[in-house]
A and B are shown apart, each in its own frame.
Chain A
Amino acid sequence: MELMKLEIVTPDGVIFDNDVKQVTLPGSEGEFGVLPKHATLVSILSTGVIIIETAQNKDILVAINSGYVKVDETKVTCIVDGAVSLSEEDNELARAIEDAKALLKSTEASSMAIAAAVSKVEHIGKSR
């Protein structure tokens, strides 16, 4: 399976920088998935959850408030204001989930968008 590079940067540093299989992004015009060799694209990201499928078939969720994404054939770069990463293997997942929820709720997005994102975040806590 082909891989592409994904980078998520925030003002507080790099949150994620690795090869991935697929990534689903909360675009301002709706959620969209990106696979390797996607056409070049730039989009605004709104409040939501980035879902990453890593090369090891693990799911990682990253809750974000807002930002931009640039996609080209080999690389996806997300520039976001604030992000909290949630991984199934994380020992402090419960706390990360709380942080993510706080981040999502602090935004000015519509309550529906926030609720959808929060439910996704909570889901990862239950699935383990």
Chain B
Amino acid sequence: MASLKDIKRKIKSVKNTEKTTRAMKLVSSAKLKRTEELAKKSKVYAAKLTELLSEIARKMAGENANGLDLPYFREVQNPKNVDIVFVTADKGLCGGFNAQTIKRVNALRKELEASGTKVKLRAVGRKGIDYFRFNGVALSNEVLGLSSSPDFERASDLIGQIAQDYVDGNSDKIILIHNGYVNMITQEVRQSQVLPVDHNSLSLDNISTSELEVEPDEDNTLLEGLIKRYIEYTMYYSLIDSLAAEHSARMQAMDSATNNAKEMVKSLSVKYNRARQEAITTELIEIISGMESMK
């Protein structure tokens, strides 16, 4: 039986923890609001960009056979080298947020390696880097600080390098994995193929024949530029999406931590009161029995 003093001390410490977790929850919810706003804004841009790209790509595909022989559309049947780019948070205390992404990355890696494919991992975010380092898995890229403050320039630098690797033929496929934001209480691991540009996501198969002037129309300047923009933006958007999900996951984790702390304080107070009552009873019995014996 713990002494009264011990219980009191414990209650105090749990109460302090509760204060901390509550504060962290508030911080996360404020940050979430901001990130959500950012995500909403950039979603419009992303949608327009995809629309324009698919329209032009469709037109090029319809017009001439070599319009789509850009390396960005090179589809390899049995990819030998696959790059997995994944985004995790820089910080913990957000429930299963990072673990989910890592689990998916691991599953995909095992699946690909089982079929004889070489997999290169490129990590954004401290948590993912730490995990794979601890397990002795080599990472081709280790990017810190980008997932906690998405920056378009840095994101495009990173994906630019990776895309260059792809264009040079060092890899056949680039897959992007991140944990995305669905709503306040749900996150969802999202996996997308960055390169080669997915025909389905651009609905390339319904070739349009509508009249479309392209300026400048020599070679593929416009299409190439657009594709670069598109993948850069895909990367950037996944960072924002991941950040929003991180904040919502942390909010949830901190909310349940606060509730648990409250619960604990309650049960500890009951324990404290019981112990106090017990002490009083013991003392009373001692006094009464002392009096009895004096009679």
Residues of A that sit less than 8 Å from B by CB:
7, 9-14, 27-29, 39-44, 68, 70, 77, 79
The residue in A9, A14, A28 that gathers the most chain B C-beta atoms within 10 A of its C-beta is A9
B214 touches A70 (CB 8 A): no
Q: Which secondary structure dominates chain B's binding surface? A: helix
B42 touches A42 (CB 8 A): no
Known contacts A11-B41, A11-B152: does B215 contact A70 (CB below 8 Å)?
no
B64 at the interface (CB under 8 A from A): no
**Within 8 Å CB of B55, what residues of A?**
42, 70
Known: A13-B41, A70-B52. 17 other contacts (CB 8 A): A7-B48, A11-B233, A28-B216, A39-B213, A40-B210, A40-B213, A41-B212, A41-B214, A42-B56, A44-B215, A44-B216, A44-B225, A68-B52, A68-B229, A77-B48, A79-B45, A79-B52
B185 at the interface (CB under 8 A from A): no
Chain B 30-79 residues near chain A, CB threshold 8 A = 41-42, 44-45, 48-49, 52, 55-56
Nearest CB of chain B from residue A123's CB, rounded to whole Å: 27
**Within 8 Å CB of B213, what residues of A?**
39-42
Number of interface residues of B (CB under 8 A): 24
Nearest CB of chain A from residue B33's CB, rounded to whole Å: 15
B212 touches A40 (CB 8 A): yes
B211 touches A39 (CB 8 A): yes
**Within 8 Å CB of B49, what residues of A?**
79
A66 to chain B: closest residue by CB: B225
B210 to chain A: closest residue by CB: A40
B44 touches A42 (CB 8 A): no
Known contacts A68-B52, A70-B52, A79-B52: does B215 contact A43 (CB below 8 Å)?
yes
A12 touches B214 (CB 8 A): no
**Within 8 Å CB of A14, what residues of B?**
41, 44
- Docked pose: A40 CA to B209 CA in angstroms: 12
B226 at the interface (CB under 8 A from A): yes
B221 at the interface (CB under 8 A from A): yes
Top 4 A-B pairs, shortest CB-CB distance: A13-B41, A43-B215, A41-B213, A9-B45
The residue in B44, B56, B229 that gathers the most chain A C-beta atoms within 10 A of its C-beta is B44
- Docked pose: A87 CA to B283 CA in angstroms: 84
A29 touches B216 (CB 8 A): yes
B236 at the interface (CB under 8 A from A): yes
- Docked pose: A14 CA to B48 CA in angstroms: 11
Nearest CB of chain A from residue B59's CB, rounded to whole Å: 8
**Within 8 Å CB of A77, what residues of B?**
48, 52
Contact partner of B44 (CB less than 8 A), chosen from A13, A28, A43, A44, is A13
- Docked pose: A50 CA to B150 CA in angstroms: 29
Known contacts A11-B45, A13-B44, A70-B55: does B222 contact A44 (CB below 8 Å)?
yes
- Docked pose: A107 CA to B45 CA in angstroms: 20
27 contacts between A and B (CB under 8 A): A11-B41, A11-B45, A11-B152, A11-B236, A13-B41, A13-B42, A13-B44, A13-B45, A39-B211, A40-B212, A41-B212, A41-B214, A42-B56, A42-B214, A42-B215, A42-B222, A43-B214, A43-B222, A44-B215, A44-B221, A68-B52, A68-B222, A68-B225, A77-B48, A79-B48, A79-B49, A79-B52
Nearest CB of chain A from residue B229's CB, rounded to whole Å: 8
**Within 8 Å CB of A42, what residues of B?**
52, 55-56, 212-215, 222
Nearest CB of chain B from residue A61's CB, rounded to whole Å: 21
- Docked pose: A93 CA to B212 CA in angstroms: 37
- Docked pose: A50 CA to B228 CA in angstroms: 24
**Within 8 Å CB of A68, what residues of B?**
52, 222, 225-226, 229
- Docked pose: A13 CA to B226 CA in angstroms: 19
